[in-house]
Amino acid sequence: MVAILIGEIIAYGDRSLIGCMSILSVILIALCITKEERFMKITNVAIMLVCVCAGFYFMSNHIKKYESISELQYVRGTIQEVNVKEKGSMLIFKTEDKHRILLFCDIDSELIPGDDLEGYVTLEGFEAARNEGNFDEKTYYQSIGIEEKYRLDRITKIRKNKSSLKKYVYLIKNVLKKRLHEIYPKEEASVAEAVLLGEKTDVDEDTKEIYRVSGILHLLSISGTHMTIIGMGIYRILRKKFRYGFSGVVGISVIMLYGILTGLGISVKRAVIMLIIKIMADILGRTYDMMSALSCAGIIMITDNPYVIMNAGFLLSFTSIIALSCGCTVITEFFSVESKLLKGFVSGICINIFILPVIASSYYEVPVYAVLINILAIPLASYLIVSSGMALLAAFADISAGIFMAGLSVFILKIYDTAGRFVLRLPYSEYITGKPGSVRVTLYYAILFITLIILDRTGNEGRKFWEEKASVRYVKILGSMLVVGVLCMLIIYRGDRKFKICSIDVGQGDSTLIMDSDDTEYLIDAGSSSIKEVGKYRILPCLKSNGVRELDYLILTHMDEDHINGVHSIMEEKVGNRNYLKNLVMPEIKEKDSAYMEIIRCAKKNHINVMYISRGNSFRGSRYHIECLYPYKNASGTDKNELSVVLRLDYKKFSMMFMGDLGEEGEKELIKNNCLKKVTALKAGHHGSKNSGCKRFLDIIMPSVTMISAGRNNRYGHPHIETLNRLNDINSKVFLTITGGQIILYPKEKGVKVDYYMNKMYNER
């Protein structure tokens, strides 16, 4: 499986992944060669090369397939899945030429899986990530086998398919959901839906946050535990009275039907394939090997859709099984662990060590107490699944019986909720790691693999761990703790950070991050008029992926919505039991409107320190100085833009101005009061409006680089051609968030280095 993965990654072209996989493969081969009985024969090497070529072929074909899709205007095909949303339905649709696409439909019509449909569509296209840490819609949907996104404009024909399996599964699922809401209290019903049916749509955000921070979010997903309890449980019960063949057929059928019922997610597919192999091995009288079954599942899945390797769920699912199969076995044998309780604890630690880089790379923060809370949560999960399943079945006979049977599962869910809320109050319940680079991830797994092989080859040789000399025991314990400490440091250590300025792509709005090498971070503005919940979905992920564990200052230039409507999300964000934002900095002006006062109230409610800024105030670090040039203290005026906070940053030989939405009148005031001098870079005022960046202003500051934040196809015409021409006249190189997403600027000894995030991602491939 690893060889096929390497071939796919080479075809995909991600240089960092190619380097990572190549280095790890060389280490594994070298380690195998060091032991005579494991010497890699020429035939094994040849098989590996064939697998690499096969992986390259599969991925190349899929890339060509995706690139060759022509834009559709009219579609014919079958609905595979229906997800009802507030403003319409989201359909997974298979066209008659076998392409799987996503259709957004707000047409009032009853559509269910299995229906054949024809209609006119408009291409919407997937949104690629435009900032560091943002959700990459295109990569995600490709990883689950969906090729493009369209909007369904008009349906011309619907044919109801009366014998479709997907139709019956959909109808059964809706009946089961209705029953769950009848026997469970409102809050627990949505969680029970997720636990039994894989439906997380109705789970409220607060509950998801509690489960995520405490490290038990995996309990809301269908996994191998569910499949084993339900499918293997029925198989083993039948085996007591029936032969292998009949029991196996029924068991496999139940496993497959339950997998389809729950949506056949990535972890479910993996579990279904592995359990079918397990039952088949039992029927044929063969030994079941977990790693062989896992490899088989992986090969089937990546052959079907090579892009699945880019899915975080795939990586977490497979890495967890590898940890259980390899890591836990080696460690329990090395330390002679025999107690079931201790084995569970070791398994939890081992899984968390294996998946740590995956979690950090996908979510940029890790739950610190996940191992401890999962010691309680995982054993209870089996009882939760069985009791909620029994309650659901009982409800079809009598609702009262269902409510009674649901009592145990409600009690377990209360335990989860209470434990999760308790963890939230603990110090450092979650830790922001940022996105670790490929070099650190490669080194992490290299050290982990080498350590496990050393432990495997230096076992106790028949002697129990506690029977060895005390000095040997201490060396083993301290050595293991040292390795775990080194691995954790590789993920959480940020190293010597460079001074960095980022204009975050927030659509039609403004938000600029200044990251100091002294570990101080500033955010200037946080708003957008074109992106919903911009603070939650664009700004915070960008900050966290950059390793911003605590935002020191959020400076608001003025109170326009496109500069402030993401502020509340940032002020309400908690990391562990503390505020993510330390200081809110407001313009010290005379007239304070309702938006201004509402932000102050929100800050005080969340116990965030409020500071005020006007001309003459400044922030200082060991190597930088940020000075406020405008407005004057208690300044007043009817135009909010002309009271925007203007900042000047000086860092070594580099200097930059941040203009907020200041227009020509404010610029003339700065000129009049001799506030200006030449700068290296400019954050253009008012998104490049024609009324900002006047000629006299630009002739004085003469920036060699200008950054402009504006939304694509915005109705204001930003940036205006007149402004761009004025910047061109002074030979200032202009960077637009419209063009390549987030703009990243690094001051250098001579000049600056500036690039787009989307260009950076393209260049890495």
d(CA 99, CA 259): 22
pLDDT in tens, 314-336: 888 888 888 888 888 888 888 88
Which one, of 285, 275, 280, lies nearest residue 255 by Cα?
Answer: 275
pLDDT at 13: 57
Q: How confident is the model at residue 34 (pLDDT cuts 50, 70, 90)?
A: very low
Q: Does 706 fall in a domain?
A: yes
pLDDT at 66: 62
Q: Provide the residue range defining the domain that includes 259.
A: 169-429
* Residue 201: pLDDT over 90: no
CB 133 within 8 A of CB 544: yes
Higher pLDDT, 214 or 518: 214
Higher pLDDT, 427 or 585: 585
* Residue 662: pLDDT over 80: yes
Q: How confident is the model at residue 528 (pLDDT cuts 50, 70, 90)?
A: very high
* Residue 639: pLDDT over 70: yes
* Residue 76: pLDDT over 90: yes
Please give the average per-residue pLDDT across 738-763, as a whole number: 85
d(CA 61, CA 7): 12
Please give the average per-residue pLDDT across 540-558, as a whole number: 94
Higher pLDDT, 573 or 45: 573
Q: For residue 155, what are the CA distances in angstroms to 73, 111, 469?
A: 12, 11, 78
The alpha carbon dihedral of 71, 73, 77, 79 has a sign of positive
Q: How confident is the model at residue 40 (pLDDT cuts 50, 70, 90)?
A: very low
Q: Does 30 fall in a domain?
A: yes
Q: Which residues contact 339 (CB under 8 A, 6 or more apart)?
A: none
Domain identity same for 532 and 643:
yes
pLDDT at 299: 82
Please say which residue of 46, 67, 88 terminates a domain.
Answer: 67
Domain identity same for 49 and 134:
no
pLDDT at 202: 81
Q: Does 114 fall in a domain?
A: yes
Between the two ends of the chain, the Cα-to-Cα distance in Å is: 22
pLDDT at 28: 53
Please say which residue of 105, 133, 163 terminates a domain.
Answer: 163
Q: How confident is the model at residue 37 (pLDDT cuts 50, 70, 90)?
A: very low
Select, from the ranges 231-245, 449-463, 617-631, the one with the highest average predicted confidence (pLDDT).
617-631
SS3 category, 698: helix
Pseudo-torsion of CA 91, 92, 95, 99, nearest 10°? 150
Please say which residue of 429, 454, 489 terminates a domain.
Answer: 429
Domain identity same for 252 and 310:
yes
Q: For residue 696, what are the CA distances in angstroms to 346, 615, 723?
A: 69, 21, 12
SS3 category, 353: helix
CB 579 within 8 A of CB 616: no
pLDDT in tens, 134-144: 999 988 998 88
* Residue 54: pLDDT over 70: no
Domain identity same for 218 and 358:
yes
How many domains, in total, are found in the chain?
4
pLDDT at 426: 85
CATH number of the domain where residue 118 is located: 2.40.50.140
Please give the average per-residue pLDDT across 738-742, as a whole number: 94
Q: How confident is the model at residue 184 (pLDDT cuts 50, 70, 90)?
A: very high
Q: How confident is the model at residue 4 (pLDDT cuts 50, 70, 90)?
A: low
pLDDT in tens, 452-485: 888 877 766 666 766 677 777 788 888 888 998 9
CATH number of the domain where residue 676 is located: 3.60.15.10
Q: Does 93 fall in a domain?
A: yes
Average pLDDT, the chain: 85
* Residue 39: pLDDT over 50: no
% residues pLDDT > 70 (the chain): 88
Domain identity same for 182 and 248:
yes
Which one, of 247, 252, 242, lies nearest residue 275 by Cα?
Answer: 252
pLDDT at 761: 56
d(CA 428, CA 578): 8
Please give the average per-residue pLDDT across 150-159, as a whole number: 90
Domain identity same for 394 and 330:
yes
* Residue 21: pLDDT over 60: no
Domain identity same for 613 and 676:
yes
pLDDT at 762: 47
SS3 category, 658: strand
Q: Which residues contact 444 (CB under 8 A, 6 or more apart)?
A: 356, 357, 436, 487, 490, 491
Please give the average per-residue pLDDT across 3-16, as a whole number: 56
Domain identity same for 625 and 588:
yes
Domain identity same for 107 and 62:
no
| Residue 152, burial from CB neighbour count under 10 angstroms (0-12, 13-18, 19+) | buried
pLDDT at 315: 86
* Residue 523: pLDDT over 90: yes
* Residue 15: pLDDT over 60: no
Higher pLDDT, 527 or 449: 527
- Write out the DSSP string of 289-330: -HHHHHHHHHHHHHHH-GGGGG-HHHHHHHHHHHIIIIIHHH
d(CA 472, CA 581): 48
Q: For tokens 């993996």, what's the residue?
A: 270
pLDDT at 297: 87
Please give the average per-residue pLDDT across 116-143, as a whole number: 90
pLDDT at 71: 80
pLDDT at 496: 61
Q: Does 404 fall in a domain?
A: yes
Which one, of 749, 714, 708, 740, lies nearest residue 726 by Cα?
Answer: 708
Which one, of 339, 334, 371, 356, lies nearest residue 436 by Cα?
Answer: 356
Domain identity same for 244 and 113:
no
Domain identity same for 133 and 278:
no
Strand partners, 683: 658, 707
Query: Strand ranges (DSSP E) for 484-565?
Result: 500-503, 509-515, 521-528, 551-555
φ, ψ of residue 575 to 5 degrees: the values are -120, 110
* Residue 397: pLDDT over 60: yes
- Write out the DSSP string of 476-496: HHHHHHHHHHHHHHHHH---S
pLDDT in tens, 399-447: 999 999 999 999 999 999 999 889 888 888 889 999 988 888 888 988 8
Q: Does 472 fall in a domain?
A: no
Q: Which residues contact 532 (CB under 8 A, 6 or more apart)?
A: none
% residues pLDDT > 90 (the chain): 37
* Residue 572: pLDDT over 70: yes
Q: Does 414 fall in a domain?
A: yes
pLDDT in tens, 353-370: 999 999 999 899 998 888
pLDDT in tens, 675-702: 899 999 999 999 999 999 999 999 999 9
pLDDT at 757: 92
Domain identity same for 310 and 416:
yes
Q: Does 42 fall in a domain?
A: yes
Lowest mean pLDDT among 48-52, 193-197, 389-393: 48-52
